[in-house]
Amino acid sequence: MAESETQVTRKDFRQEIAECWHRLPDKGLFFGLLAAWLGLFQFLGSSTFGYIDSPSLFRWMWNAYNASFSEDGHGNLIPLVVLGLFWWKRRELMEASKQIWWPALGLVIGALLLHMVGYVVQQARLSILALFCGIYGLTGLVWGKQWLQKSFFPFILFIFCVPIGSLAESITFPLRLLVTKISVFISQYALGIDVIPKGTQIFEPKGRFQYDVAVACSGIRSLISLIALTTIYGFITFKASWKRALMVLIAVPLAIAGNVVRLIGVIIAGEAFGQEVGLKVHDVAGFVTFALAIICVMILSHWLREDRPQVLGSERAA
192-220 pLDDT, tens digit per residue, is 999 999 888 898 888 888 888 876 666 67
Residue 220 contacts residue 183 (beta carbons within 8 Å): no
Q: Torsion angle of alpha carbons 306, 309, 311, 317, nearest 10°?
A: 120
Give CA–CA dist 189/269, Å, rounded: 17
Q: Quote the mean pLDDT of the chain.
A: 87
Hey, what amino acid is at 200?
A: T
Mean pLDDT lowest among 78-87, 143-152, 211-220, 308-317: 308-317
pLDDT grade for 312, boundaries at 50, 70 and 90: very low
Q: Give the CA distances from residue 7 to residues 84, 198, 289, in Å, rounded to whole numbers and listed in that order.
A: 21, 62, 40
Reported as a single tens digit per residue, the pLDDT across 136-182 is 999 999 999 999 999 999 999 999 999 987 676 777 788 888 999 99
Q: Does residue 309 register a pLDDT over 70?
A: no
Q: What are the percentages of helix, strand and coil residues in the chain, rounded to 5?
A: 75, 5, 20
Give CA–CA dist 176/171, Å, rounded: 9
How many other C-beta atoms lie within 10 A of the C-beta of residue 159?
A: 14
Q: If you average pLDDT over residues 236-254, what whole number do you get?
A: 92
Give CA–CA dist 129/206, Å, rounded: 51
Percentage of residues in the chain with pLDDT exceeding 90?
60
